[in-house]
Each structure stands twice: as C-alpha cells, then as structure tokens.
Amino acid sequence: MQEVRAGAMAKLAVLFERHHRALFGYFMSMTRKQETAEDLVQDVFVRILRYRSSYDADRPFRTWMYQIARNANLDHARKNRGEVVGIEEFGDRRPEPVSAARGPEEASIRGQDIRLLQRALDRLPADKREILVLSRFQGMKNEELAQVLDCEIGAVKVRIYRAMKALEEIYLALVGEKAS
C-alpha cells in the first residue's frame, strides 16, 4: 500500500488480488445481493486510490481497508433504505453446503441444518451479522476488530458473544418451525 500511496498505482492490482474475494464475502453477507456486493468491492478499491494519501503506514492495511469497506456499506445502506430483498431468495442463492457427514442420509440432514444456519445468519441484525462475519469468516483478531469498529477489545468480545446468542436464538426458532 505504501507504494500505491507513493504513486505506483499499478501495485493496487496486487492488493485487489489478495483481498477482493474476502471483501466480496463481507459485502455479500451485508447486502445479500451479488451485483451490489461486486459494485461495493469496486467502490472500495476506487476509494483506496482516492484516499491513498490518508493511509497510515504504521497501521495494518487490512484494518484501514475494512474501515473504508464499512463506510462504503453504510453509504450504500443510506442510499437504499426501503429496498428489501427476500431473505429466502438470498439463502437459496448460496452454494450448496459441503457436508462433513459420512452416509448420504446423514449428509442430507447435515446439509439442511447448515442451510438453516445460513438462514439464521442472514436474519441477524446487520451489526451482529457484521461482527460475526468479520470475526468468524474473515478471521479477524479481536484487536484488529476493535480498530475496525472503533471500540475497546472488551466491547468486541461482548458484541461477538451477544451476536452468537442472537444467532442461536434465531437458529433454534427456525429448527422449531421446520419440526412443527
């Protein structure tokens, strides 16, 4: 990133190749739309170029990038308030879950469980879903998350715990719905 800041903009391609998939996963979880998620990934890299002079070389690039990503996501959400996407539709668009179970019957049950878990994750409020996505799927450490979310490490832990509790609640409700 330091080279990009110094004017070697072609080096942004290296950062794009390294991070665009993870960013796409983040935006997919937050927006539930493939096209919007791709637009937002593109938007983040344009913003990186535009604000490259504000990059602080003493801080990790990923933290800075996700701060930009969060802003891009907030701007998008503000512009598109009122736009509602069917959660079921979104859940169905995800790839088939890979099951670790052995027999075909067991694999099918496991696959259904995972699909319910996906649906529960999609139904979480945005702030809770965001912290779980960053922590669990993007593999961010609590220290890194505290910088991205601009809060104390203790607050990060509490928020992850609460998000997990909320996820469990929604998941169990979905399991109950399915059983009844």
Partner 1 sequence: MTCDEVKARLVDCWNQSLDERDALAVEGHLTACPTCSAEAERLGALWLELSVIPSEEPRPALRGRFYEALNAYQNAYRDGMESARRRNWRTRVLALWPRQPAWQMALSLALLLVGVSVGYAVRSDGPRGANSEIAQLRGEMDGMRQVVALSLLQQQSAGERLRGVSWANRVESSDMEVLSALLDSVNHDPNVNVQLAAVDALHAFGSSPVTRTAVVQAISTHQAPLVEIALIDLAVDLKDKEAVPQLRTLLQDSSADADVRERAKWALEKFQ
Out of 78, 100, 176, 180, point to the residue binding partner 1 (CB under 8 A): 100
3-state SS assignment for residue 180: coil
Stretch that binds partner 1, among 59-67, 69-77, 80-88, 94-102 (CB under 8 A): 94-102
Looking at the Cβ atoms of 60 and 122, the one nearer to partner 1 is: 122
* 99 part of the interface to partner 1, by CB under 8 A: yes
Out of 57, 84, 98, 179, point to the residue binding partner 1 (CB under 8 A): 98
Stretch that binds partner 1, among 56-64, 65-73, 81-89, 113-121 (CB under 8 A): 113-121
Find out whether 131 and 149 touch, Cβ atoms under 8 Å: yes
Task: Tell me the longest C-alpha to C-alpha distance in the chain.
Answer: 61
Out of 3, 89, 154, 173, point to the residue binding partner 1 (CB under 8 A): 154
* 123 part of the interface to partner 1, by CB under 8 A: no
3-state SS assignment for residue 26: helix
Burial of 52 (0-12, 13-18, 19+ CB in 10 A): middle
Which residues, other chains included, contact 56 with Cβ-Cβ below 8 Å and sequence gap of 6+?
A: 64
Q: What angle do CA 142, 172, 92 make, to 5 degrees?
A: 85
Looking at the Cβ atoms of 28 and 69, the one nearer to partner 1 is: 28
Looking at the Cβ atoms of 41 and 68, the one nearer to partner 1 is: 41
Looking at the Cβ atoms of 17 and 58, the one nearer to partner 1 is: 17
* 118 part of the interface to partner 1, by CB under 8 A: yes
* 85 part of the interface to partner 1, by CB under 8 A: no
Out of 6, 14, 46, 77, point to the residue binding partner 1 (CB under 8 A): 46
Give how many residues touch partner 1 by CB under 8 A: 49
Please report how close the Cβ of residue 78 comes to partner 1 at its closest, in angstroms: 16
Find out whether 97 and 62 touch, Cβ atoms under 8 Å: no
Find out whether 159 and 166 touch, Cβ atoms under 8 Å: no
CA-to-CA distance for 121 and 163, rounded, in angstroms?
Answer: 10
